Structure 1
């Protein structure tokens, strides 16, 4: 595996021939806060909803958005030298924070790349590589990250109808809920939409982690329907991480053969409503 920079997040590592995905997610210091709270929204990378702080540079961030009950704030600062994700949550209601990175690049040998594709449910890329006559050639990949998180400011109230939590933000790949998880009771279901460039993606593999579950237990795996939706039943309170990855042929073959986009959504489910 080719390492291009110490600051780039590797989307996977190779351990004894096994490909292990590395998720990238946003996680506030607390998912439920009082109005007026100033708090850092941390960026993590790791496996099984366990990770370390991302050490990427601020200039890698292409979007930093804060959707509030009263509107959308674009906090992106391309000229920033340091990454600032400490935000103030003033308005009561459910808030969404979204972040996206630019591309990083790597090259993999055929067999590790094939194993990685199978592990991530990207078998269609294997078929396309075979059609291109590239199955035995190294693969060049450009990868970028998109991450969103939902947090509740003040107590959930039915009058919070702004639906900032469900509105597309324009990320290259995003996972958006159609019900507010902070309003749901245990045993109720939440519908999640997978959107690529604002359009629903059918047949997309979606993985679900709940913090506190044994790492030996594999994540729940779902596939989106023709409208880009998956249905998840929330059985127990806790912190949830939803993830998906999409790979398509690169539009710039001088840089890479494939473009992958990784996306996550995090939220807390209290089940107290």
Structure 2
């Protein structure tokens, strides 16, 4: 059975695939700070500017959906169709980390310009030259993509530390936003194939208590580290996108010329 399927209705992020590339994917907890024994409820969202639709718990649409606290990592259990996708009791005091990896999806850009706009927005202009060098200048390509999302939630005091979970690409918070000194921002590290990803663009979506969102970007250093400026009482979505050529077998099976791998991390900074 092929692993690469067209958009399923349950996760179709836009009626027109020309819009699909501009949509982020993130885990959106109902509350980022809980007491032991509370229910951790979180939606899986797709949208723009930290606003989007909630999607259901559909095991066929993800490769991994875990909840980690300390050394314990367990699959998120749910019923098909549950919305929000995550609702579970958290009994242990400490930092809870939600990890979600989607299956592969594919899209065909509606125009060459939309492709150029996307790779330019993601600071990957080299892709335009590589596309032209392959004799495809002016051609709207087919792409496969997957999402690699994490979220940090404080239970009780929220003590603990984010870490890498072996995702093909992921963002790791090097400081705990619930217990650390956030006056100089939160350092994050971007990984790709378990190696720090230097000179990578990180997009920051900052949502204030009134729901207003501001967007900015920073670039990682040689060690894949960047500082996210933060404000108490705000919540954050940070993401970074890898663009690469798919493997020969994948390209042959899907007809895709490019692959994008999206990493995201959500957290809040207490008042």
TM-score, normalized by the shorter chain, greater than 0.5: yes
Which residue is 1:6 aligned to?
9
Q: For each residue in 1:89-131, what CA deviation from the matched residue of structure 2 results, as whole angstroms up to 9, or x when unmatched?
A: 1110111001010111111232221122112222121121122
Alignment partner of 1:42 is 2:43: yes
1:50 Cα shift? 1.2
RMSD value over aligned CA atoms? 2.6
Point out where structure 2 has 5 or more consecutive residues left out of the alignment. Answer: 1-5
Which residue is 1:74 aligned to?
75
Q: For each residue in 1:50-76, what CA deviation from the matched residue of structure 2 results, as whole angstroms up to 9, or x when unmatched?
A: 111125733111001111024222347
Point out where structure 1 has 5 or more consecutive residues left out of the alignment. Answer: none
1:1-273 paired onto structure 2 within 5 Å: 4-10=7-13, 14=18, 21-55=22-56, 57-75=58-76, 81-82=80-81, 84-108=85-109, 109-156=111-158, 160=159, 162-163=160-161, 165=162, 167-185=163-181, 187-212=183-208, 219-251=215-247, 252-254=250-252, 255=254, 256-271=256-271
- Determine helix, strand or coil for the equivalent of 1:237: coil
1:82 Cα shift? 3.9
Decide whether aligned partners of structure 1 residues 268 and 216 sit closer, same or farther in structure 2, where only a CA change above 3 A counts.
closer
Under a length normalisation based on structure 2, what TM-score does the superposition of the two structures give? 0.85
Q: Are 1:8 and 1:56, in contact at CA under 8 Å, matched by a contact in 2?
A: no
Aligned residue-pair number: 258
Q: Structure 1 stretch 104-113 or stretch 52-61: which is displaced more?
A: 52-61
Q: Structure 1 stretch 255-264 or stretch 232-241: which is displaced more?
A: 232-241
Q: Are 2:58 and 2:81, in contact at CA under 8 Å, matched by a contact in 1?
A: yes
**Structure 1 CA distance for aligned equivalents of residues 40 and 257 of structure 2:** 40
Under a length normalisation based on structure 1, what TM-score does the superposition of the two structures give? 0.85
